[in-house]
Amino acid sequence: MKINGRFRLACRTLVKNLKSNTVIVEPLANLPVIKDLVVDMDDFYNKYEIIKPYLVPREIRNVKKEFHQSPDMRRNLDGLVECILCGACYASCTMCHWDPDFPGPSALLAACARLMDNRDNYGRERILELISESGIWRCHTELNCTEVCPKDLSPTEAINYLKREAFKYHFISKRKKELKRMEKNAGASHAAISAHQALDEPVVDRRNFLKNVVMGGAGIILAGILGIFSMVLLRKQARGWVNKWIEIKNFPELIPGRPVEVIYNKQKWEKGILKSYPRRSYIILNESGEINAIDPTCTHLGCICYWDESIRMFLCPCHGGAFDINGNVTLGPPPKPLERLDVEVRGNRLYIRSKKT
């Protein structure tokens, strides 16, 4: 939904974090409104289905076996397959408003995932279907989709990757190789002209000379323009949270077995600008004197959990999930434990850092 002017997941948005006495809730944009906050998402799903977001395997096996993938190959898909199809990126994209044929950020993110999946056999065909004025080239790199994604994904970066692959495809496709072979054969035939015929004609006439000069100058100018734009296209955009040691300004007074809540500022790249946002963690001193830290972000839908001393568990206010003091799941539906943070004590100062790189 659109909450106070920003597309968000309503289930993980706390009113107290909006810092406003008035909360304005609106439906998703770029989709027909059925009633109140309910929108018709048929167009969203139809565009998603057009790019064939499913795996098209290289081979169909007779035996029922998994299509295994190495850990390194799987890591190539990080940041591409975590999309939950909430529609926030689609609603924030201005191109989805201006061009009804534009697939949208989430669909192109899925197309990039399948292209980078070593088990898929349809990736290059997807590029052919996306190379059009209403396809990948319709994206103007406004980064609206990246800014609102609740999973911290970057459809913009995925679309830029598709643009780079489309540019390279022009040179490595079978059609291009066939054209080069034909040109080579034509050049060989032209070289077979008799020396007498070659000498009877001027090697370079005035018209051809001027044509070559003009074309050469235009080629240099075009190469310069492409070079400038390619620097922006090929450069990997800084995005997401900055993972570095963060000092906790006020060293909390720790009691063994009782988590202490701390608030600190964490930096995040948004549209090329480094911004700071308040974050919450719990510092825990165990019986052996070791200090641990836990990120209370629920692993189900990203809600913020709170420590309840009466039952000695972290509780999620949205769906009833619970975790013990070590972050392990005690009540579903969270699929995995809370994230453990790295902790360092330097003198009288406490530092924490996410383990994720």
Residue found by looking up tokens 């056999």 in the block: 121
Alpha-carbon distance of 84 to 159, in angstroms, equals 18
Alpha-carbon distance of 73 to 31, in angstroms, equals 36
57: number of CA atoms within 13 Å, CB side?
9
Report the sign of the C-alpha dihedral through residues 240, 245, 249, 254, in that order: positive
Is 81 part of any domain? yes
How many Cβ atoms from other residues are within 10 Å of residue 22's Cβ? 6
Q: How many structural domains is the chain composed of?
A: 2
Q: Taking a C-beta distance cutoff of 8 angstroms, is the pair 268, 240 a contact?
A: yes
Rounded to 5 degrees, what are φ and ψ at 215? -65, -40
Alpha-carbon distance of 250 to 350, in angstroms, equals 8
How many Cβ atoms from other residues are within 10 Å of residue 181's Cβ? 10
223: left (phi over 0), alpha (psi -120 to 50) or beta: alpha
Give the pLDDT confidence score for residue 148 in this predicted structure: 92
Q: Is residue 19 domain-shared with residue 119, that is, in the same domain?
A: yes
Instruction: Tell me the per-residue pLDDT of 207-225, one tens digit each, with 9 for 90 and over.
Output: 555 566 667 777 788 777 7
Return the higher-pLDDT residue of 53 and 182.
53
The enclosing domain of 295 has a CATH number of 2.102.10.10
Is 209 part of any domain? no
Is 177 part of any domain? no
Q: Taking a C-beta distance cutoff of 8 angstroms, is the pair 154, 146 a contact?
A: yes
Last residue of a domain, one of 149, 171, 193: 171
Rounded to 5 degrees, what are φ and ψ at 330? -115, -25
Give the structural domain span for 348. Answer: 240-354
Is 260 part of any domain? yes
Q: Is residue 66 domain-shared with residue 160, that is, in the same domain?
A: yes
Q: Is residue 144 domain-shared with residue 33, that is, in the same domain?
A: yes
Last residue of a domain, one of 119, 153, 171: 171
Alpha-carbon distance of 88 to 20, in angstroms, equals 22
The enclosing domain of 20 has a CATH number of 1.10.1060.10
Task: Place 82 in a pLDDT band, splitting at 50, 70 and 90.
Answer: very high
Q: Which helix (H) or strand (E) holds 275?
A: strand 273-285
Return the higher-pLDDT residue of 217 and 109.
109
Q: Is residue 129 domain-shared with residue 270, that is, in the same domain?
A: no
Is 184 part of any domain? no
Instruction: Tell me the per-residue pLDDT of 185-209, one tens digit each, with 9 for 90 and over.
Output: 555 544 443 334 443 444 444 555 5
Q: Is residue 107 domain-shared with residue 12, that is, in the same domain?
A: yes
Is 208 part of any domain? no
Last residue of a domain, one of 171, 201, 224: 171
